[in-house]
Amino acid sequence: MGSCKIWDYILVGGGLSASVVTHRLIESNPKLNILVVEAGPDASDRPDIVWPNSTNLVGGDFDWAYNTVDQQWLDNRQVDMPAGKALGGGTVINAGGWVRGDKVDYDLWGSIVDDERWTYEGLLPFMKKSETFWDKRINPTQHGLKGPVSIQSVTSTNREFPLRDHVLRSWGELGLSPLEGLDANAGTPLGIGELQENKKDGRRQIASSVYPLHGATVVTDTLVEKILLERKGGKLRAKGIKLANGTDFRGSNVLLAAGAIRSPQLLMLSGVGPADELAKVGVPVLLDQPAVGKNLSDHGLFAHLWNVKDPSAGWAIGSGNPLFEQEQYGWGGPMDFLTTTDVCKEGLAAAIEEDEGVAPDPETHPLLSGPRAFAEHVFMYAGAADGSKVTFILITLLPTARGSVKLASASISDPPLIDPNFLGSAVDRYVAREALKTQLKFATSTEVGRDILDRELGAPGFDQVFTTNSTDEYIDARLRAGLGTSFHPMGSLAMGSVVDTDLRVKGVEGLRVIDASVFPVPITGHLQVAVYALAEQAAEIISKGA
């Protein structure tokens, strides 16, 4: 592997999107010379990451374990920010939730960049291409049956949790209905859908295993320092990469796939980014591109635990219920449903006015003109080793605040400054509060609340617990003290401003970004589905020579 060789494609990072694109490019032309450089190892044969109850995931051997900068709206806390560091990237340590999000998000993306390929209909063929859905009868126009990623559900794995019907009825009491086929992955997730996961009989599906990289040269445990750019005839062009160990590789095309945290860092270290930010750390500016590293968003996650009235009733994992001894109960998350909700538009309009300074037009404002997937609710039948507790999780799916990725130094060895700006807008604070109130109603005044649950556990530093009567001030304080990442950073090299709709970095030839950095708007899914679809479409665009 001499450094004089000119590779057809060099992939920076060997994560989810890199695996898909590499696999598909070689499939379309086996003669291509492709180099994949991944900072982490190949962990695909590690038994301690394969099963849902594996011990080596967040905080383990394959986690970059980043921290955010102080979060102004979270009592100035720094928040842990895990990210996968291994071949397969996030798919090595992620939770495996398979959640597509709302058609409306994708359509907004397509309309912002004025390109039908990035609308829901434009991406649907690629969503289908990536997956093998377990049942051809459920929403058949929406699902693929021959893709590399196998999808399972709670019922397809024969897990009959004892609280299932109680939970369905309780959401019903709050006016929420089951989606067709309990399938939230058909473009319209508002309502109750069954948990779907990209696991095969419980086994983790690492992107680089289900999209094998045979035919490519894969270098692991190797950090890329920057993309080598040269100016010729007034044009800036990528000519290869430089590793942190000093080695150069030359390539005709560089595909940046280091994820939404590291891709903007690498671009800035290469001289493309906001000139003032680069100058601060002494990186020579080759192209002043103020949008690099901006537009970062992430879904927030907030959890609260409740005691069950009768732990011996066997509702939760750990309770001694012999049901949970059956093998399949270890194959996926201990829950039946993901429930997705909108928020009351009246309060939302007031929050928008606070953020935007003018009263929004309810007919045309994208958050008001129709239903939106603002919040996801998870009721987990687990919370303590003895089965005495259950857990509610709230995921804020549609943040309007935007954060940033900035350089901490001119060295790739220093992680960048990550600012997701959690709860950084009046809208985000309103949505989190209202969505949490929905959970408190569920936990106190529905069938589950009345018959199953006792009281909330509270949190360190608070002398009250959640009740039906919790005030807005108390709810806000708990959110500030407890909200963290849902592990879905995105948007830091947004399509439209940094890359064009063929994923080319504007102003630089021979360089594309193919990962979660390019989403111009938040996608209200858990990102894997969207990143797989993005990468499938990227491979097609690239192999067609666009």
Ligand X SMILES: Cc1cc2nc3c(=O)[nH]c(=O)nc-3n(C[C@H](O)[C@H](O)[C@H](O)COP(=O)(O)OP(=O)(O)OC[C@H]3O[C@@H](n4cnc5c(N)ncnc54)[C@H](O)[C@@H]3O)c2cc1C
User: In terms of DSSP bridges, do strands 511-513 and 248-256 run parallel, antiparallel, or are they unpaired?
Assistant: parallel
Q: Which DSSP symbol is given to 179?
A: P
Q: Does 418 bind ligand X (CB under 6 A)?
A: no
CB of 18 or CB of 349, closer to ligand X: 18
CB of 91 or CB of 150, closer to ligand X: 91
DSSP string, 320-367: --GGGGSGGGGSS-S-SEEEEE---HHHHHHHHHHHHSS---TTT-TT
Q: Which of 487, 512, 521, 540 binds ligand X (CB under 6 A)?
A: 487
Tell me: is residue 79 an annotated ligand-binding position: no
Q: Which residue stretch of 14-22, 131-139, 155-163, 448-456 sits at the interface with ligand X (rule: CB under 6 A)?
A: 14-22
Which residues from 237-276 bind ligand X, rule CB under 6 A?
Answer: 257-259, 262, 266
Taking the complex as a whole, the smallest distance from the CB of residue 335 to ligand X amounts, in Å, to 12
Q: Which of 49, 182, 435, 516 binds ligand X (CB under 6 A)?
A: 516
Q: Which residue stretch of 94-102, 170-178, 227-235, 347-355 sits at the interface with ligand X (rule: CB under 6 A)?
A: 94-102
CB of 124 or CB of 352, closer to ligand X: 124
- Helices 528-543 and 16-28, axial angle in degrees (round to 10): 30
d(CA 192, CA 176): 7
How many residues contact ligand X, by CB under 6 A?
A: 41
CA 258 to chain centre: 14
CB of 26 or CB of 49, closer to ligand X: 49
Question: Is the separation of the CB atoms in 229 and 220 below 8 Å?
Answer: no
Q: Does 83 bind ligand X (CB under 6 A)?
A: yes
CB of 58 or CB of 305, closer to ligand X: 58
Q: Which two tokens stand for residue 362?
A: 């309810």
Q: Does 384 bind ligand X (CB under 6 A)?
A: no
Q: Does 527 bind ligand X (CB under 6 A)?
A: yes
Cβ atoms within 10 A of the Cβ of 73, count? 19
> What mask, x for binding ligand X by CB under 6 A, covers residues 25 to 64?
------------xxxx-----------------x------
Residues 6+ apart with CB under 8 A from 314: 162, 320, 321, 323, 387
Backbone phi, psi, residue 102, to 5°: -100, 135
d(CA 439, CA 456): 12
Q: Does 428 bind ligand X (CB under 6 A)?
A: no
Residues recorded for the chain: 546
Identify the CA nearest to 249 among candidates 225, 273, 268, 272.
225
Binding-site residue positions for FAD? 224
The annotated binding site is made up of: 224
Q: Which residues bind ligand X (CB under 6 A)?
A: 12-17, 37-40, 58, 82-86, 89-91, 93-97, 99, 223-224, 257-259, 262, 266, 412, 487-488, 515-516, 526-528, 531
